[in-house]
Structure 1
Amino acid sequence: MRAGSVLILVHSFGVAIDVRAFEALGLVIVEDAASSFGAALRGVSVGSNGFVSVLSFASTKMMTTGQGGMVLTSDDAVAKRIDARMDYDCSDRALPAGETAFNYGFTEVQASLGIVQLAAMDGFLERRAAIATAYSRAIGNGVASLPVFEDGRTWYRYILQTNSAKQIVARLQAAGIDGRNSVSHFLHDYTGDTGFENADHVRERIVSLPIYPSLSDEEVARIGSEARDAIEQSS
């Protein structure tokens, strides 16, 4: 595989992007569905179109096994190569010279937790969508740009866009609510590359509200009310 021949497409915050729109570029596509498991576009689930796709099962994701994740591919050779790298103690999985295996396997406990979580996934998605609806109703249209409700999207994050993001986050945290700016660092922050003004602009304007399924109706109502007040006071 030649350098620069891979395109990583990220389905961010539960919104599926159109992977097929990029196929004409002739690049190998890797889908990053870490924060959008369960989302779909035109009936096609995220992770279905890439040559390789990755999911995350970290503690804050759509479902969890505590940590870890999953790699999806329909290519047998890639699957065997990934499998060979997962367990350093399996001599029957030969790797090419110069490549090293690691200890990336799931434990049985993690797998058991994942099976239970997967069975509850539809309920998780429905609860997150209900919370998002409640937030939008509580906050209303005004100085903040609310997330768009689209068919097939999921709600890994409830993201507001506003010119007063830092002030709103500070007010929410002072009220005991874990509001955050949901993007801490981009790759270009580490590489020193420039020319990503749009990404930097959006990062400075977003506020993420808690939206995990175990929130009670009372907690959801309080978060929505505090968010509305914080937006109004910061405008």
Structure 2
Amino acid sequence: MLRSLGHRAGPGFAEVDHKSLFSWVLSNRSALMQFKPPFFSELPDIKAGLVLAADKYATRLRAFYNARAIWHRRFYRLGGITVILIGGSLPLIANAEYPGKTLVVSLAGTAVAVLTSLHAFYRWDQSWVLLRRTEHSITAAYWQWRAALPHESAFDTDEAMRSTREFLKTLATIREDEASAFLKDLTFPAATALGQARTTNTSPAGRDQPM
């Protein structure tokens, strides 16, 4: 993709014109802001060579984790700011007199409860950190692999093949570590809600009473 914005500057790399890159970002801004991460249903074809296929796979993988990290960061910040604003305004909307007060207070409390439960279920903050660390690990492994590769004309040598196979093993290990770290702390949302309900029960008067 970036190669179309510049010209070849070395073995497999591209020197990107910054004005062209900026124009491309502006023209594809809507696509970059989409929720769906850049995911491909098929792995790159190795018929063109293992090195080129590994390069394409690594860049796709990095883009995938980068997009997921960005959206988890957005959800975490948006959800946190919304909870703060609604929670901070609850005393005001609860003490003021206006039509539909009961409905407004109920909706505000429901919004805080829903956002808090969604955060506990999706763990936006932990997932943001985990995904960003994974993206950093993939990026570091990618550049280490590219720096060790010989000239592009020697991509089919035993040294290049060995280095590429080790790089693919590293990517698999990184993904396995990310999945293990995420899956070990999975919880069911009903258990969290039940635990909160057993702790306190909010009465219509606004007092917390044990069940």
TM range (shorter): under 0.3
More helix by share: 2
Q: Which structure is larger by alpha-carbon Rg, 1 or 2?
A: 2
More strand by share: 1
**TM-score where L is the length of structure 2:** 0.24
